[in-house]
Amino acid sequence: MTHDEIKAKVAEVLETALGCDEDEIVDDASLTADLGAESIDFLDIVFQLEKAFSTEAAPFKIDQGELFPEGIMDNPDWVQDGTITDQGMAMLSERMPHVDFSGFDGSVSKVGDLITVGALVSFVERKLQAAAA
């Protein structure tokens, strides 16, 4: 599947799950800050991505915490005084290779904004490539 085909399917999922317009779905649009996604929408998006990219031969399954690591706030090694620590940043970079961290100031309140349309497309693309390897 080409990059453009993946992008088109991801856009279709976002239009359905978030009720947003096609022209709002651009690479750097944040799902939460720009497209208004709430926490339950992420579960909706995950379910719809699984359905959209699964085939009979190769089920596409997204594990809980795979798109976005869980329990970040509760770990003092990762978060101190409302800011992601160096150790936390290393963990995020390792577990979220689909995310572009340039411009991220480490503020915990902005972690949720890191998932952009482009990050979601990259996430799907990496998973499909890994499954095909």
User: Could you say which DSSP state residue 21 is in?
Assistant: -
CB of 86 to another protein, least distance (A): 25
Nearer of residues 40 and 133 to another protein, judged by Cβ: 40
Task: List interacting residues with another protein (CB under 8 A).
Answer: 16-17, 39-41, 43-44, 47, 50-51, 64, 74
Shortest Å distance, C-beta 106 to another protein: 22
Please identify, using beta-carbon distances, which residue of 71 and 103 lies nearer to another protein. Answer: 71
Q: Which is nearer to another protein, 21 or 74 (CB)?
A: 74
- Residue 79 near residue 70, CB atoms below 8 Å: no
CB 76 within 8 A of CB 91: no
Rounded least distance, CB 43 to another protein, Å: 5
Q: Which contiguous run of DSSP H or E holds residue 84?
A: strand 83-84
Q: Answer yes or no: are the C-beta atoms of 65 and 77 closer than 8 Å.
A: no
Ordered alpha helix ranges (H), 19-133: 39-53, 86-95, 117-132
Nearer to another protein, 12 or 44 (CB): 44
